[in-house]
Amino acid sequence: MFSMIRPCFLVIDREFPGSISTRKLVIETAKFNVLTAYSGKEAIEVFARFPAVSGVVLDGGLDDITCDEVARKLKAIQPKIPIIVIVAPGFTGCPESDYQLESFDPAKLLEILRGLKPEAAAEIEKRNEELSREKLS
């Protein structure tokens, strides 16, 4: 029996029609699990309840709490949590983050997420190949 714990990422995004779904879809397409929050306040509450996530993808332009304050509060709960901030070009307001991505680049984001959990990412790739071969035979 095949069993694996899939990496799970908390995605924090402002509520715009379609914006959260794009990031969430990209991460789920890579077969990772996703928790979502639509504000800094909600993100801190969700993270306090689920601190074992593999990493956080944070919108640098949150409206309710600054990006850096959210990052600081998350690190207070779980100091080693990797935080990836998606920012507008020229944005420098989140020194607490571990990675900064200028604008939303799905390939670059997945590269960072896979790098955080390389064993799990490799396991998922291997499983996908096995499933592809089963379909062909």
Take residue 8 and report the two structure tokens written for it.
């799970």
**Across residues 73-97, what is the average pLDDT?**
89
- Of residues 80 and 132, more confidently modeled: 80
> What percent helix, strand, coil does the chain show, rounded to 5?
45, 20, 35
**pLDDT above 80 (res 109):** yes
pTM: 0.86
Classify residue 4 by its DSSP letter.
Answer: -
Distance CA 136, CA 97 (A): 43
Distance CA 117, CA 111 (A): 10
**pLDDT above 60 (res 74):** yes
| Domains delineated in the chain | 8-136 (3.40.50.2300)
Residues 17-26 have pLDDT tens digits of 556 667 888 8
What is the average pLDDT value for the chain, to the nearest integer? Answer: 87
